[in-house]
Amino acid sequence: MRSRRKKNGKKIYTRGTKALLTLLLCVGITSIPAISDGQEVNPDGWSVPKLGGLTPYSITLKKVDGVEKIVERFYTPDGGHVARISGNGRVFAYTIDKDQDPPIDYLLVDPDGSGKFIQKFGPEAFYSVPEWVSR
């Protein structure tokens, strides 16, 4: 099979070469990893930190997307820290960090108000306040 021939100084690809190029392109596209938004989903919900007996060392309040967002940060006995994030009095997220240095390890989010924190975001991922918090 000849891969190409010249006609009037231009390269012309034969049917076999076109098929091979198409195949390589398809294989190349499917072998590229999908771009991840840094999110994992656990339909049963991720375990949330137990905050009983812990006292917050920091509480911040600010308006985000029309929601009064409160972030309460707690030191953990093992040297890390966690934060409970609520909006309009409803807890929708927790951040977990095994040490006290940035960035956080991950963020857990309850996307629908069910009480299950099914979304887990990495430290660089973007998230927004779930819609149910503002209802």
Report the alpha-carbon distance of residue 41 to residue 65 in Å, rounded: 24
Instruction: Based on the fold, state whether residues 1 and 49 are members of the same structural domain.
Output: no
CB atoms within 10 A of CB 87: 21
| Cβ–Cβ < 8 Å for 104, 95 | yes
Instruction: Based on the fold, state whether residues 44 and 62 are members of the same structural domain.
Output: yes
Give phi and psi for 24, each to the nearest 5. Answer: -65, -40
Instruction: Based on the fold, state whether residues 25 and 80 are members of the same structural domain.
Output: no
The predicted pLDDT at position 126 comes to 86
Instruction: Based on the fold, state whether residues 106 and 124 are members of the same structural domain.
Output: yes
pLDDT digit string, tens, across residues 115-132: 999 999 999 898 889 999
pLDDT digit string, tens, across residues 35-79: 345 789 999 999 999 999 999 999 999 998 889 999 999 999 999
Give phi and psi for 102, each to the nearest 5. Answer: -65, 155
Number of domains present in the structure of the chain: 2
Instruction: Based on the fold, state whether residues 21 and 69 are members of the same structural domain.
Output: no
Report the alpha-carbon distance of residue 115 to residue 91 in Å, rounded: 9
Structural domain span for residue 81: 39-134
Report the alpha-carbon distance of residue 36 to residue 112 in Å, rounded: 22
Instruction: Based on the fold, state whether residues 27 and 46 are members of the same structural domain.
Output: no
**Does the predicted model carry a pTM greater than 0.75?**
no
pLDDT digit string, tens, across residues 90-108: 999 999 999 989 999 999 9
CB neighbour list of residue 91: distance below 8 Å, 6 or more residues apart: 84, 85, 110
Q: How many residues does the chain have?
A: 135
In which band, very low, low, confident or very high, does the pLDDT at 31 lie, cut at 50, 70 and 90? very low
